[in-house]
Amino acid sequence: MPELNQEEVQQVRRAVLRLNAQAWGISFGLLFGLGILVATLVLVARGGANVGEHLGLLAVYFPGYRVTVLGGFLGFVYGFVLGYILGRVVGSVYNRVVGPQS
């Protein structure tokens, strides 16, 4: 195996260390969206007199969200969008810290 000079080593490190910001966005989006969906559906399935009192407070930030099956799917959309934005920001900031792409 040939030896790499210092510049080639830096290029390899930058290529390996860079993150795919879009993939991070999709991953965070699915994680957040599915988290809200599952939490909502579990509370709906459990039922009771006061279903999802605390989770229902998400309606303050997510207009139209309710602790119902339909609200769970709407919460998935809101969670996905929020998670995508957050994941994209994390990936982009990380890539800026690592350095410019060569």
On whether the pTM is more than 0.85, the answer is no
Maximum separation of any 2 CA atoms in the chain, in Å: 71
Burial (CB < 10 A; 0-12, 13-18, 19+), residue 91, is buried
Residue 102 predicted with pLDDT over 60: no
Compare 69 and 3 and report the one with higher pLDDT.
Answer: 69
Q: Considering only residues 38 and 16, tell me which one the structure prediction assigns the higher pLDDT.
A: 38
The per-residue pLDDT for range 45-75, each reduced to its tens digit, is: 998 788 888 999 999 999 999 999 999 999 9
Domain range list for the chain = 20-98
d(CA 77, CA 11): 38
**Token pair for residue 26?**
């999709």
Q: What is the pLDDT of residue 36?
A: 97
